[in-house]
Homo-oligomer: A and B are copies of this chain.
Amino acid sequence: MSQTVDRALRILPLLAEGPASLAEVAAHLDVHKSTALRLLHTLHEHGMVYRQDDQRYRLGARLFGLAQQAMESLDVRGIAHPHLVALNERTGHTVHLAVHEEGEVVVYIDKVESRYPVRMYSRIGKPVAITVAAVAKLLLADVPEAERRAFAERLDYPRYTAKSTPDADAYLAELARVREQGWATDLGGHEESINCLAAPIHGADGRVAAACSISAPNVVVGADELLTLRPLVLRTAEAISRELSGKEEDV
């Protein structure tokens, strides 16, 4: 809606991919160099971009700080954290917390590392592999039918592994099942040797506000053994839901 701001913001994803020179930025925006310069200048003053020694630009530290602060101020996160730690202590596995946001993105907003030496690669703030991750399935299974359908059609279905969700139809079927049963899994769909088990966290309005999961590599526990932890994960999610909905707000 605002041309200038729109252009300025289009610079950020470009720089996220790696450093770029003024000329590259101008070309990307399809504007004159002087225009790009002024936009970069403004972004720079706000610490959103950083000018490295070779005069190329990359994203600035301010961005990290903002993202950080924003995540910490999320309600769910603060409430859920102790429960996630407890779950990690009882199972030893990596625990994740994720939320969905209209922009078609699911992101991890908290993580407690596995106590086993094998660690999986994931990071807070990272967009989740939406077509395969257990937490993503739960979050999307909750969006209204029509939207969900349109959304599924629009997605890419990367074949991370042989078990990855192949297409929209398979995904919608999976979402229906997940919705039905109230929990979700990802058995080797993202990384061949890693299994996840997730449960939904409900807000006061009954809708799915977040989802938490435990993940473990095959070498530590097999898929069936992981599934035996289902009651534990579900109970954790329910405890968080209750607290989030304020059903036990008192002292």
- Residues of A bordering B, CB below 8 Å: 1-2, 4-6, 8-10, 12-13, 15-18, 38-39, 41-43, 45-48, 50, 53, 58-71, 73, 99, 101-103, 105, 107, 109, 113, 123-127, 205
Contacts and interface: CB of A to CB of B under 8 A. Distances in A.
Given A1-B41, A16-B73, A18-B73, 5 more contacts: A2-B4, A2-B38, A50-B103, A66-B67, A124-B124
A207 to B, nearest CB: 9
B48 A105 contact: no
A50 B9 contact: no
Nearest to A66: B16
A6 B126 CA distance: 27
Contact of A127 (B46, B50, B65, B127): B65
A50 B15 CA distance: 22
B6 A46 contact: yes
Given A46-B9, A107-B64, A69 B16 contact: yes
Residue of A9, A59, A61 with highest tally of chain B CB at under 10 A: A61
A70 B58 contact: yes
A61 B2 contact: no
A99 to B, nearest CB: 8
A22 to B, nearest CB: 14
Given A64-B71, A65-B126, A125-B68, A102 B50 contact: yes
A107 B16 CA distance: 17
Contacts of A99: 61
A205 B17 CA distance: 25
A164 to B, nearest CB: 21
